[in-house]
Amino acid sequence: MFAVSTYEEIELIERQVENMEIVVFLFVKPTNSEALNIINEFEYIHYNSEKYCSIYAVGYSNDFEKKNDKQYRKIDVTSNSDWYFSMKAFTDFKKRLEERIKWNYSGEVEILILHNNPGRCNSLNFTNYVAIDINKGIREGYMDSFQGFMESLVRSAKSAVTAKEAIKGVATDRISIKNIITDTIGDCKKIPLPIRTIVKDRLFYRCANSIID
């Protein structure tokens, strides 16, 4: 789990990663009603995700020097270090990503899942990304909670990355993000609705080839 204010920070971190892993952008504004419960999960998510899944909290920083930066405000979070949030950094990051890929932020708690490109010029691979609207998923019963979904996501990511490493000699240079999300939804959904029906809900599940300009 990393606190990041800019896209360049993520690229810098991912360029140092030698193994293939899942990358998650977490969009959660402290102004959202359920934000505090999610923010208080940051430390656990950090230790739970290990090397299989790098999760980035967009717009946040745990740099103590930010306490003197007027663009940042301290967040009340259960952690060993102080965390700060900048709505400007969050918005700038969102706008840049919307310009880069066919994606528009829902305005609610949302995660965008992709994978890295170890050893490549572009350290991030958006070819088969998937965006999930967490609030929509909870309202519809596609998941029980953010915590439950993230637990299943990390577990599915670990399984996919481990399998990828096991067949490294014959594997392609991609991990199936769709398969990971399918496994995750199947593991944590509340209602007996087929997964293929759930992923057709474009307000909840959006992927690289399903976003319409």
With pLDDT > 90 as the criterion, what percentage of the chain qualifies? 52
Count Cβ neighbours within 10 Å for each residue of 110-131 and write b for 16 or more, e otherwise.
bbbbbbbbbeeeebbbbebbbb
57 pLDDT tier (thresholds 50, 70, 90): very high
Specify the pTM. Answer: 0.89
156-213: pLDDT as tens digits: 988 887 766 554 543 446 788 988 999 999 888 888 888 989 999 999 999 887 543 3
- Please state, as a whole number, how many other Cβ atoms lie within 10 Å of the Cβ of residue 79: 16
Distances (CA, A) of 81 to 61, 64, 74, 167: 10, 8, 11, 39
Comparing 211 with 88, the larger pLDDT belongs to 88
- The pLDDT-based confidence of 78 (bands split at 50, 70, 90) is low
Bin 181: left if φ > 0, else alpha if -120 < ψ < 50, else beta: alpha
Interatomic CA distance for residues 12 and 71, integer angstroms: 23
The whole-number pLDDT of residue 211 equals 44
Task: Give the tens place of pLDDT for each residue, 121-153.
Answer: 889 999 889 999 999 999 999 999 999 999 999
Each domain of the chain, given as residue ranges in start order, spans 2-207
